[in-house]
């Protein structure tokens, strides 16, 4: 029964993909004019940029990078200062450094072509299991599935009726074996179809779900998804726009920077936001932003006050002081610019 269910679902999804898939994504361009080196480069670059970032946001970044760094060799010659303007605004700035490091390794050790083997791919900076399988499937047409969270949810619904029932590794291996033993479509097409389908099918957008693909497959379809456990995050009531913003500016959590910029003289570090060995360190403290977009507020502050570009992590601590004033904490790192701050070393 499982095999019939899977094959029926794949047939439907492939037909849907032929009509509605995202065939014009720039990194999906294929043809004899694109060399193997260029194809692996484009697939790798797109997959790294797409990590935790929406497709619509990645496209202009990908196109700008490819225009000025058309090959992995061109990218390998760039310094971080050269590359940063092309990456600025994407967030997760360790990705930018990993991109440059990987480009250098591919150029010097692999003659400009990404390897085919998972083990070799996962030795490269920033490449884990999903990315390695995506490169193998999209660049080399190796019959493998690039399992991400959305894909797991699709098959969990098809086989178990709920996206919250996790698939085991053996189940994933079985699904992959069944799909590729039946279809003569390329790994590129199958993975593209599954990825596009998973992207568009959302329980919160029920009008978009073609229920016929789920109808034979248990409770999820027969109840139109109403029985699927719906875990929702409890909305925070913390008044973020009214909170003082504590910014811990650091380099890899080994060196911490301070300029004694203080707007709240009664502020105390007794709340445990800093480790004991940073005694005497004063973080940057910004006045309430009147916005929930704390990261942009912090970036604007350092740009306007010091001429620096900084990357900012999401708020990771919120609390009220003894006078009921709200505070929040973010970590930030300098990405470009000249500074003259006091430094505190990690002990």
- Catalytically active residues are 47
Per the structure block, which two tokens stand in for 154? Answer: 């699709």
Q: What does the alpha-carbon distance between residue 124 and residue 121 come to, in Å, rounded to a whole number?
A: 6
Residue closest to 172 by CA, chosen among 6, 317, 306: 6
Instruction: Specify whether the CB–CB gap between 289 and 297 falls below 8 A.
Output: yes
| Pairing between β-strand 342-345 and β-strand 317-320 as defined by DSSP bridges | unpaired
Q: What does the alpha-carbon distance between residue 202 and residue 154 come to, in Å, rounded to a whole number?
A: 10
Decide: helix, strand or coil at residue 327. Answer: strand
Backbone phi, psi, residue 200, to 5°: -95, -20
Q: What does the alpha-carbon distance between residue 266 and residue 279 come to, in Å, rounded to a whole number?
A: 17
Per the structure block, which two tokens stand in for 245? Answer: 């913003």
Instruction: Specify whether the CB–CB gap between 144 and 176 falls below 8 A.
Output: yes
Q: What does the alpha-carbon distance between residue 273 and residue 246 come to, in Å, rounded to a whole number?
A: 10
Per the structure block, which two tokens stand in for 86? Answer: 């092309």
Residues whose CB falls within 8 Å of the CB of residue 341, separated by 6 or more in sequence, listed in order:
249, 257, 258, 259
Q: What does the alpha-carbon distance between residue 34 and residue 148 come to, in Å, rounded to a whole number?
A: 27
Q: 332: part of which helix (H) or strand (E)?
A: strand 326-336
Helix, strand, coil percent values for the chain (each to nearest 5): 50, 10, 40
Per the structure block, which two tokens stand in for 96? Answer: 């930018």
**DSSP 8-state code for residue 331:** E
């Amino acid at each position: 029964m499982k095999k019939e269910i899977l094959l029926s679902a794949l047939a439907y999804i492939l037909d849907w993909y032929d009509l509605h898939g995202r065939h014009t994504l720039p990194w999906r361009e294929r043809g004899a004019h694109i060399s193997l080196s260029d194809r692996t480069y484009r697939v790798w670059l797109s997959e790294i940029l797409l990590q935790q970032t929406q497709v619509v946001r990645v496209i202009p970044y990908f196109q700008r990078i490819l225009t000025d760094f058309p090959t992995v060799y061109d990218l390998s010659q760039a310094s971080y200062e050269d590359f940063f303007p092309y990456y600025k605004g994407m967030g997760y700035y360790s990705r930018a450094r990993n991109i440059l490091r990987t480009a250098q390794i591919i150029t010097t050790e692999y003659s400009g072509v990404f390897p085919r083997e998972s083990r070799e791919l996962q030795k490269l900076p920033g490449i884990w299991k999903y990315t390695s399988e995506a490169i193998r499937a999209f660049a080399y047409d190796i019959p493998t599935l690039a399992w991400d969270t959305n894909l797991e949810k699709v098959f969990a619904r098809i086989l178990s009726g709920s996206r919250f029932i996790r698939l085991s590794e053996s189940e994933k291996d079985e699904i992959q074996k069944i799909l590729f033993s039946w279809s003569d479509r390329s790994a590129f097409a199958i993975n593209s179809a599954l990825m596009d389908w998973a992207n568009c099918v959302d329980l919160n957008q029920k009008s978009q779900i073609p229920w016929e693909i789920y109808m034979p497959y248990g409770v999820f379809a027969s109840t139109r998804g109403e029985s699927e456990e719906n875990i929702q995050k409890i909305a925070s009531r913390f008044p973020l726009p009214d909170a003082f913003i504590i910014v811990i500016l650091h380099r890899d959590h080994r060196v911490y920077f301070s300029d004694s910029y203080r707007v709240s003289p009664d502020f105390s570090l007794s709340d445990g936001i800093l480790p004991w060995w940073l005694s005497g360190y004063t973080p940057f403290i910004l006045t309430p932003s009147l916005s929930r977009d704390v990261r942009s507020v912090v970036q604007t502050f350092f740009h306007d006050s010091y001429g620096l570009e900084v990357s900012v992590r999401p708020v990771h601590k919120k609390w009220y002081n003894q006078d009921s004033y709200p505070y929040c904490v973010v970590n930030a790192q300098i990405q470009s610019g000249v500074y003259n701050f006091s430094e505190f070393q990690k002990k």
